[in-house]
């Protein structure tokens, strides 16, 4: 059986959590390979909502092993709070069901302090970071001064690294950002305390995955954010600090590219983004408000209102290329119910020319006007549909046009937030024909 990678094709918030939850029922291991707790996957099971920020959402399925790979940056406080909340819901979260890569970098209090102070200093030019310390943590990782999970097992190493980093960070905080300095001892003691709880979970995740592959077990790799928030390929600088594209599953989990068999791209039936940055199909009218309200478009992590607009297939087509997509999963199709007409952006107009790929220049993207194809909408409730041909004719045409323009087939269609409100066209774990 194959291994599957789930990625977002837009600016995140595509509904990856539900798809991962569905696919986790077929997988035996679920691996998170990048990002941090600046993302959240919202799941609705038996009418109850659960939001996972770090632990893969497969944890809600009994008998699954969930792993956080080395490509993730982990805030130990957030992780322990998440474990606590899951246990309060009756979910088993022990070393038999969850592992943390010993190579994963840790978010420290000074990372959060720098993140918040920087945004405050930028004023109207702020990027829109969540203030969770994600970017500064990745900076230390690249600068070779980061603290990893394995350092929690070596108190002397931990002490030395915190002290060295804090000297530099306090200088930066106080002298440049005009913020408060942080004290060493409370940080050191807090992380020592958390280390005692986390020790049983820390392991070589790459070896665990390799053993599972050798045993022929099915593995699901899940990313956070979306392709156009990628640090290299996204709308820089309005991006995240890691690589949400499918290739990152290899580096962020410790596996070779030959171990990834099916790449499924999650596409929200319309487009949203949180925070600043150009958004060619954004709707600042009643239709945008309709999408926002019906789709409950608020960030799972921050609670921020998401900007809404028509489906931008320029973005999705680029994502198909960058990720090597095998299939698409359409989410929140039900949100569009009730709209008389729908628009699909098939290209941009820039300086009098038609372009079919997103420009790298953020200034040029801001000048792009969407070129739309108009399609009829539908009014019938679609939440009870379990086969593609049970959908209204207009909804079927909308989906078919997406497949034609992106040149990638559909495998899953979500017609509501619940697990059962789904149309499965193809099992991504099934061997390729």
Q: Choose the catalytic residue: 13, 21, 140, 230.
A: 13
CA distance 244 to 252: 10
Q: Is 178 a catalytic residue?
A: no
- At 103, phi and psi to the nearest 5? -95, -5
Number of alpha carbons in the 13 Å side-chain half-sphere of residue 426: 19
Number of alpha carbons in the 13 Å side-chain half-sphere of residue 181: 12
From the number of C-beta atoms within 10 Å of its C-beta (0-12, 13-18, 19+), residue 214 rates as exposed
Q: Is 105 a catalytic residue?
A: no
- 303: closest CA among 45, 84, 51, 7? 51
* CA angle 345–415–33, rounded 5-degree value: 75
- 19: closest CA among 418, 432, 431, 316? 418
Question: Two tokens at 13?
Answer: 């918030």
Q: Choose the catalytic residue: 21, 41, 53, 233.
A: 41
CA distance 67 to 87: 17
Contact 134, 119 (CB under 8 A): no
Contact 238, 275 (CB under 8 A): yes
In DSSP terms, 342 is beta-bridged to 375
Q: Kindly list the catalytic residues.
A: 13, 41
């Amino acid at each position: 059986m194959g291994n599957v990678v789930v990625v977002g094709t837009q600016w995140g918030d595509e509904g990856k959590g539900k798809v991962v939850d569905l696919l986790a029922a077929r997988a035996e291991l679920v691996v998170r390979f990048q990002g941090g707790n600046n993302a959240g996957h919202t799941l609705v099971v038996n009418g109850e909502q659960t939001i996972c920020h770090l632990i893969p959402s497969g944890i809600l399925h009994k008998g699954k092993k969930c792993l956080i790979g080395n490509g993730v940056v982990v805030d130990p406080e957030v992780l322990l709070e998440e474990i606590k909340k899951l246990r309060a819901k009756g979910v088993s979260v022990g070393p038999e069901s969850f592992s943390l890569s010993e190579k994963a970098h840790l978010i420290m209090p000074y990372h959060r302090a720098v993140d918040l102070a920087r945004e405050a200093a930028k004023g109207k030019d702020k990027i829109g970071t969540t203030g969770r310390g994600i970017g500064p943590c990745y900076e230390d990782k690249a600068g070779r001064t980061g603290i990893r999970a394995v350092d929690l097992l070596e108190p002397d190493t931990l002490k030395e690294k915190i002290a060295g980093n804090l000297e530099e960070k306090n200088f930066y905080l106080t002298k440049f950002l005009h913020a408060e300095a942080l004290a060493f001892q409370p940080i050191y003691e807090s992380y020592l305390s958390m280390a005692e709880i986390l020790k049983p979970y820390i392991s070589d995740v790459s070896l665990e995955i390799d053993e599972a592959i050798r045993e022929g077990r099915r593995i699901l790799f899940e990313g956070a954010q979306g392709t156009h928030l990628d640090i290299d390929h996204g709308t820089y600088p309005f991006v995240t600090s890691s690589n949400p594209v499918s290739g990152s599953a290899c580096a962020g989990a410790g596996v070779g590219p030959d171990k990834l068999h099916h790449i499924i791209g999650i596409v929200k039936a319309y487009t949203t983004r949180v925070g600043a940055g150009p958004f060619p199909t954004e709707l600042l009218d009643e239709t945008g408000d309709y999408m926002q309200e019906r789709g409950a478009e608020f960030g799972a992590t921050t609670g921020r209102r998401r900007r809404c607009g028509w489906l931008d297939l320029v973005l999705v087509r680029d994502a198909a290329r960058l990720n090597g997509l095998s299939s698409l999963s359409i989410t929140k199709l039900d949100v569009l119910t009730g709209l008389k007409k729908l628009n699909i952006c098939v290209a941009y107009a820039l300086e009098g020319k038609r372009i079919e790929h997103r420009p790298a220049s953020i200034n040029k993207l801001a000048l792009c006007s969407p070129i739309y194809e108009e399609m009829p909408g539908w009014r019938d409730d679609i939440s009870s549909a379990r086969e593609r041909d049970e959908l209204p004719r207009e909804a079927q045409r909308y989906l078919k046009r997406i497949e034609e323009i992106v040149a990638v087939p559909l495998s899953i269609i979500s017609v509501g937030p619940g697990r059962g409100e789904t149309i499965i066209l193809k099992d991504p774990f099934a061997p390729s024909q």
